[in-house]
Amino acid sequence: MLFYLLLFIIVFLDQITKLWVRFNLALGQSLPVWDGFQLTHYQNTGAMGSSFQGYGRYFIIPAVLVVISILYLLKKGMLDGFILKAGAACFAGGAIGNAIDRLLFGRVTDFLDFGRGISNFADHAISLGFLLILISELILNPLRNKKKTTL
């Protein structure tokens, strides 16, 4: 249940923040929030970091495949542990959030501007999900396995 709740929250927050930006900031407009951070309305037709401009719709296919794979692993009980499930939910939620934009608009709304590129909530959810999956698989699982073998 935690997986689906987190997935829903991420997709909802991503879409509601993008909707707010599209309705409240003109394309290219910035809104200073605090020193070093502002909201800047940008439409990205590529991938994160503005790479592969014009090819954004092609990223829908891998996003769908990733989400299907994660749901399959979850159903088969292969995602064990809170950190791994949370990471998978973040990753899938971010992929869904950006895929929705690509499907509906042919581009992704970015707005989080820290001065070194503009991103969105889904991008950060994907990054956080990836980090949590790495922590689970490269640190926590080996520790659990080591503990089991010493008992």
Residue 46, Cβ neighbours under 10 Å: how many?
Answer: 16
125/36 Cα distance (integer angstroms): 21
CA distances, 1 to each of 55, 68, 90, 110 (Å): 35, 17, 14, 29
Q: Which residues are catalytic?
A: 110, 123
**Nearest Cα residue to 55 out of 64, 45, 65:** 45
Distance of CA 88 to the CA centre of its chain: 10
